[in-house]
Chain A
């Protein structure tokens, strides 16, 4: 072995090492921490790209599955449950524009499971706080029928006539809207019903003392403490109102003197001509709302359509997105952790993490909610 060579190399390397002036350990650790953050961001961007890439195929696959050909009367449980949602993003349940109730893969937007094959009404779905039961409205006679089905798949249970179901934070009560069946010439205002899921007892809140004071109820949402309901309703004159209803004191759900409810104040620019087209409570107590401005002339008169987070007094907290002027923005929802928001812009499902700029996950939907 060439010992002289090794000796020369080692001696020289020792001299060289002595001349090295390394960076401070803290600087090296900081460099490692930056690498760690960069890799986390890269992973998040990759997941986002995969989600966006998969969205385009979401309902093409549903269309090919023969779902459209399913008979309207053939509703019932479908495939057995699959695994949990992907990588920390909560699962999503949705109503397709063909009336199916499905569980979506939260990363790709592709339907992973069909819970009900058809005849589900668009507008609202609601998931119990334990994530095990989905409440939805099915087409039934002159009004809808509130039904439920396990998110893992199973038999459909019929609950009561009505639409727009919203289950309470403790899972014991269900709020929904019900419009009594009347002869076509008779105007009927929808009622808001709060039903005890165990005993079946109901509390009914009319719109107001006069029967023609409301056009429709678009959305219902429970406050995190379960004491108030947020009611998004239209008046016969076409204007919308977002009312907070104290369930212990309310007599009517539309705000008026002595009704027990109050309108969420509209703040910000053009407040006098703006209104909330819809809104829901978030887990922290703030509201996620669709704020529309200046629609004296119907959709053509809409000059802004903003998705905002506000506090219950109407104070602006955060702008989530700028909506399309010619679309309705519905199915607003925040996940139980408070990290994710979703909404439908027309048929398109958008998600937002932490209120950041939303991205389109998929399309072809009539309602959606976090599991």
Chain B
């Protein structure tokens, strides 16, 4: 039996946070809001099951992300997506650093972007990301490392920590390559 009261409480308490996370993954406010609404609608559709999950918010976030990368959806909304590409989101009220991070995230591959958001924004460990994304822990580590490497050039002015060149005492990163900031060796710390 689906209980509207528990769903409404869950929705009201988590929708803004999840939208922020999906926005960081997609880089588009409109798409994030649409995908998140669709994911919550699906959650209500099977709320009798989803409400029993240990972390319904993770379920919604995963569904929203999958909706956003759905090939069918991309094909169906190609024209809309094209227009969005040329109509940047309204960033008024957002910090310049955050806007720069979002812009940099949009320039790296989606799987790396997802791993970085789940780790640095949602706060999940490598193992938790592996469970949520269905990837192996080693793959998640690689995505995190390569994602940071790929973002670094775009954050040169706003995020020195990510732009630092490996020093002479740099330890290897998770994928065997030097860590970006010269000190990082693990992503799940």
Chain A positions near chain B (C-beta within 8 angstroms): 1-6, 8-20, 22-23, 25-26, 28-29, 31-33, 35-36
Contacts A14-B20, A23-B37 hold; do A32 and B45 have CB atoms under 8 A apart?
yes
Query: Is the CB–CB distance between A28 and B40 below 8 Å?
Result: yes
Question: Would you mind naming 14 contact pairs between A and B with Cβ atoms under 8 Å apart?
Answer: A2-B181, A5-B159, A6-B120, A12-B99, A12-B101, A13-B20, A13-B21, A15-B95, A16-B94, A20-B15, A25-B4, A28-B40, A32-B43, A36-B45
Query: Is the CB–CB distance between A32 and B42 below 8 Å?
Result: yes
A-B complex: 3 closest residue pairs judged by Cβ atoms: A12-B98, A32-B44, A31-B41
- Residue of A1, A14, A15, A31 touching B189 (CB-CB under 8 A): A1
The interface bits of chain B over 74-112 (1 if a CB of A lies within 8 angstroms of the residue's CB, else 0) are: 000000000000000000011101110110000000000
Report chain A residues within 8 Å CB of B102.
12
Query: Is the CB–CB distance between B20 and A2 below 8 Å?
Result: no
Report chain A residues within 8 Å CB of B98.
8-9, 11-13, 15-16
- Residue of B37, B43, B93, B161 touching A5 (CB-CB under 8 A): B161
Report chain B residues within 8 Å CB of A22.
11, 15-16, 19, 33, 36-37
Query: Is the CB–CB distance between B162 and A5 below 8 Å?
Result: yes
Assembled-state Cα–Cα distance A25/B37 (Å): 10
Query: Is the CB–CB distance between B7 and A4 below 8 Å?
Result: no
Closest chain A residue to B89, Cβ basis: A16
* A-side interface mostly: helix
Assembled-state Cα–Cα distance A15/B16 (Å): 10
Residue of A2, A4, A15, A33 most packed against chain B (CB within 10 A): A2
CB distance from B180 to the nearest CB of A (A): 7
Assembled-state Cα–Cα distance A3/B20 (Å): 19
CB distance from A17 to the nearest CB of B (A): 4
- Residue of B36, B42, B117, B161 touching A35 (CB-CB under 8 A): B42
Chain B positions near chain A (C-beta within 8 angstroms): 4, 7-8, 11-12, 15-17, 19-21, 23-24, 33, 36-38, 40-45, 47, 93-95, 97-99, 101-102, 117, 120-121, 148, 155, 158-162, 180-181, 184, 187, 189
Closest chain A residue to B91, Cβ basis: A16
Query: Is the CB–CB distance between A25 and B20 below 8 Å?
Result: no
Report chain B residues within 8 Å CB of A2.
120, 148, 159, 161-162, 180-181, 184
Assembled-state Cα–Cα distance A22/B39 (Å): 13
Query: Is the CB–CB distance between A20 and B45 below 8 Å?
Result: no
Query: Is the CB–CB distance between A8 and B19 below 8 Å?
Result: no
Contacts A5-B101, A6-B120, A28-B44 hold; do A15 and B94 have CB atoms under 8 A apart?
yes
Assembled-state Cα–Cα distance A99/B44 (Å): 53
Query: Is the CB–CB distance between B11 and A31 below 8 Å?
Result: no
Assembled-state Cα–Cα distance A19/B117 (Å): 19
Assembled-state Cα–Cα distance A194/B44 (Å): 57
CB distance from B24 to the nearest CB of A (A): 6
Contacts A9-B24, A20-B33, A35-B41 hold; do A25 and B120 have CB atoms under 8 A apart?
no
Closest chain A residue to B185, Cβ basis: A1
Query: Is the CB–CB distance between A20 and B161 below 8 Å?
Result: no
Residue of B17, B23, B42, B44 most packed against chain A (CB within 10 A): B44
Assembled-state Cα–Cα distance A70/B148 (Å): 77
CB distance from B149 to the nearest CB of A (A): 12
Query: Is the CB–CB distance between A19 and B93 below 8 Å?
Result: yes
Report chain A residues within 8 Å CB of B99.
12
Report chain A residues within 8 Å CB of B41.
28-29, 31-32, 35
Contacts A28-B37, A32-B42, A32-B43 hold; do A20 and B94 have CB atoms under 8 A apart?
no
Report chain A residues within 8 Å CB of B155.
5
CB distance from B126 to the nearest CB of A (A): 12
Assembled-state Cα–Cα distance A5/B144 (Å): 13
Contacts A28-B11, A28-B37 hold; do A13 and B121 have CB atoms under 8 A apart?
yes
Contacts A1-B189, A35-B45 hold; do A25 and B7 have CB atoms under 8 A apart?
yes
